[in-house]
Amino acid sequence: MELYDDDPANFRIEGDSVKQYLGSSAAVMVPAGVRRLGMLCFHDMPFESVILPTGLTAIGFQAFLDCKDLVDIVFPETLREIRGEAFQGTPWLRERQAEDPLVIVNGIVADGSACTGEVIIPDGVRVVTEMAFRGNTKITSVYIPDSVQLMGNEIFDGCDALTRVSLPAGVKGIQRFRNNYCIVRQEEK
């Protein structure tokens, strides 16, 4: 059994946020008390497995970008935010996309870059993370359920085939839509 590196000395931690992993273990356990993973904090690290602590609430922008060996992540129930492209370039993301192109973690759409055609986000999803569908030229329409409360920036940038987005009436945080598609509020249907 692989021993997990949970030595706080191997993490650059500021306040309650991991800024960088300094170790070289294949298995990492983020220390207890950490609430956030900072931007690019594990970028290009060689580990295969990571356990995130109970109490962690946020994963930063591109936190695991290009972790080419990462296949296993244990998420705590306390996770409420995943920033854009957090898992880009990882085998973990490719495996999730093979199971379902709409990658959802703890009620958060973390990635939709492998989706095609009409996308129906399931009821119960609370957040669509920034850049979730960015650059996806194969989606044509997206239905977002009433359960979604927050949508991040640049979700549909570069989605050139997208012609329709159906939004719930109460969704917040919709910013920077640059495409020419029809936004339909659900009460207008």
**1-99 and 101-189 have identical folds:** yes
CATH fold for the domain made of 101-189: 3.80.10
User: What amino acid is encoded at 171 in this protein?
Assistant: V
β-pair type (139-143, 11-14): unpaired
Mean pLDDT, to the nearest integer, of 4-15? 95
Mean pLDDT, to the nearest integer, of 68-74? 98
CATH fold for the domain made of 1-99: 3.80.10
Where in the chain are the domains?
1-99, 101-189
Per-residue pLDDT of 156-173, as tens digits, reads 888 989 988 888 777 765
Length of the chain: 189
Residues whose CB is less than 8 angstroms from the CB of residue 92 and which lie 6 or more positions away in sequence, other chains included: 64, 67, 70, 71, 72, 73
Helix (H, G, I), strand (E, B) or coil at 88: coil
Per-residue pLDDT of 81-122, as tens digits, reads 999 999 999 999 999 999 999 999 999 999 999 999 999 999
pLDDT at 124 over 60: yes
Helix (H, G, I), strand (E, B) or coil at 143: strand
Per-residue pLDDT of 142-153, as tens digits, reads 999 999 988 888
pLDDT at position 174 is 59
Distance CA 170, CA 125 (A): 14
Distance CA 139, CA 23 (A): 40
pLDDT at position 70 is 98
